[in-house]
Amino acid sequence: MKYNILCLGLCLGALAGCGGSGGSGGGDGGSGNTAPTPAAPSKLALQDLQIPRSLVTYNGDLYVLSNRGVAQSSGQVLRYRGPAFDGRPEGVPRADWSFPYAYGLSVNTAAVSLSGFNDVYVASRDGLYANTPTGYLPFGSAHYDSVLYHPQDRVYVARSLSSGAQGGIWVWRGGNFQSSPTAVSMKTGVDAAPLSRVTALALGAGQRIFATVDGPNGIGLLEIDPVTEQATVFATDAKFNQPSGLAHHALTGRFYVANAGGQQLLQVSADGKQVSVFKEGVADKLCQPSALAILGNDLFVANATNCSDSSLANAVIKMGLPTTP
């Protein structure tokens, strides 16, 4: 059977499916022009949210991959209706559907499943899960940290070396999950080490695929050619510190990176040549930011568990983005 897919951040479909300095800015990262300062970040009053691992926006709604329990052994996809995002969430496709040790989320916006929801894909410790009329079914048995649906009917998955297995990026074509995925390689002549440290995937302009890399040598972003399926270095900077989430702002072409190690959000120019701090620290309601998603000109940020300010732990933060190219 053929299944279709997308990103939230981790990426919906592109959910996927992620400037200014000092944490309060919003300065332009590409042209050098000064953009209006975005509105102050706001914490969303989401219900039933435990440990948000991945975010996706689609059709005006926010999808959250939330894990439960100390061991994070039970994951669930929750949908919050926009524009307020403050109502009781809906389980996708149903509230009683769950999966173990889930890390990444993506949704296919091109197709609607029999249950009335878009096809949902979850990267987990036990493989790639896809929703079917009878529940979430695992495909493969490898550990995956992130997943991205590509409009050319492909699904990209990635994991970092830290998960206990060789890191890398792989792709399934045409939703044929019964076969083994094909490995993405670095362009000939380029050190392949960054592929062992991929932490997140996102879709950029022209259906290009981008990935955050946790080192080495200050490498923060890779670009993957959807034709050759070879990766090249897109952005390097010493500011990258445990990047864990990625989102692309279609209006300006910029990328936003959840910089968990620096308690920051980084802004990367559309050409990858400029990297700056966009938001930073508790003043901007950030605490180990781990996942990103963009809806229009709003950025959604998922915080992790270990926070000095307990009110920010496992919270989802919403903030405006600069709109000047």
> Count of residues for the chain?
325
CB 26 within 8 A of CB 200: no
How many whole angstroms separate alpha carbon 222 and alpha carbon 185? Answer: 11
- Structure-token pair, residue 149: 């649906």
pLDDT in tens, the chain (325 residues): 333 333 333 333 333 333 332 322 233 333 344 455 666 788 887 766 688 899 999 889 999 998 876 556 678 888 899 988 887 888 776 666 777 788 999 988 776 554 555 578 899 888 888 776 666 677 777 888 999 998 888 889 998 876 567 788 999 887 677 777 888 988 766 667 788 889 999 999 988 999 999 877 788 999 999 888 889 999 999 999 999 999 999 999 999 999 988 889 999 999 999 999 999 998 899 988 999 999 999 999 999 887 888 888 888 999 999 998 8
Helical spans, DSSP H, in the chain: none
Q: Could you report the per-residue pLDDT of 18-35, keeping only the tens digit for each?
A: 333 232 223 333 334 445
Q: How buried is residue 178: exposed, middle or buried, by Cβ count under 10 Å (0-12/13-18/19+)?
A: exposed
* DSSP designation for 205: G
Q: Is the peptide bond before 100 cis (omega within 30 degrees of 0)?
A: no
User: Which tens digits make up the pLDDT trace of 271-319?
Assistant: 999 999 999 998 899 988 999 999 999 999 999 887 888 888 888 999 9
What pLDDT is attached to residue 318? 93
* Burial (0-12, 13-18, 19+ Cβ within 10 Å), 147: buried
Q: Which residues of 110-143 are buried (b: 16+ CB within 10 A; e: fewer)?
A: ebebeeebbbbbbbbbbbbbbbeeeebeebbebb
Q: Which domains does the chain have, with CATH numbers?
A: 42-320 (2.120.10.30)
Q: How far is CA 108 from CA 138, 150, 170, 203, in A?
A: 17, 8, 18, 13
Give the separation between CA 313 and CA 247, rounded to whole angstroms: 21
* SS3 assignment, position 322: coil
Task: In whole angstroms, give the CA distance from residue 58 to residue 42.
Answer: 20
Instruction: Give the Cα separation of 19 and 278 in Å (integer).
Output: 4
